[in-house]
Structure 1
Amino acid sequence: MANIASLLKTEITRIARKEVRAELESLKKANSHHRALIAELRREIAALQKQLRQVGRERIAVVNETKALNRKYRFSATRLAAHRAKFGLSAADYGKLAGVSGNTIYLWERGKSRPKPEQVQQLGMLKSLSRKAALAQLEKINA
């Protein structure tokens, strides 16, 4: 006949395991739910950080544009030609960005004529643009 102590011990162990298993199930579900929430929050944080960087870039662009508007520019025919070559644009395309004809750009580069002060400001603001931004602006003009 089995020892009563060993029977009690096995029954207590069985019941304890059953209760622990039930507790662990609820903890596993809660853990899974919390992990999903954490992942969602991380995605949200990444999206917000991306927006923050974009706003920062836009703010810097506005500040740079404001500085460009307040700045007095000087005209140089050789620098105009060098800047146009740096962007890899034709005189006609560069003229569209500056708001003048391609022939006018050609004459300015050759020193045959000089731009008006407002046009010098426009050329100065073009120099503050990146190549990518200038090409995007040209796409808008051509569209």
Structure 2
Amino acid sequence: MNLGKLLKAEVQRVAKREINAAVKPLRDLTKRQRNEIADLKRTIRELGTKARSDRAKAKRAVITSEDKQRRFSPTRLGILREKKGLSLVELAKLVDISGPTLTRWLAGESRPKPEQLQRIAWIRAQGKRELRRELDGLKG
């Protein structure tokens, strides 16, 4: 009887040793994978934070560079149109708006959006030839 218990205990001990030897590489692998997953999550979190920060910096830079206060005057727009030798339709095409909208701007009934003010500033910076080339590019 005592021999049976001893034999049973020895079999259990050997079996436990064999099982542990077989499972240890799997345990080690899972541990490494958990650590790697934690590292990847940390990296993702850091990159997300950096991306948000970079986006905010870029947005601030764009706002400061584009947010140069552009003033609008219907009279000055009419003078610009005459100076560049543009018809109402041509100026509307260059600013990418409709003719009636341009007419309302010139009458002082409405104002251009900031993007349109940038486009007007671009037109102001161009010469007549460049504007003609741009119009030809828009037509064809």
Which has more radius of gyration? 2
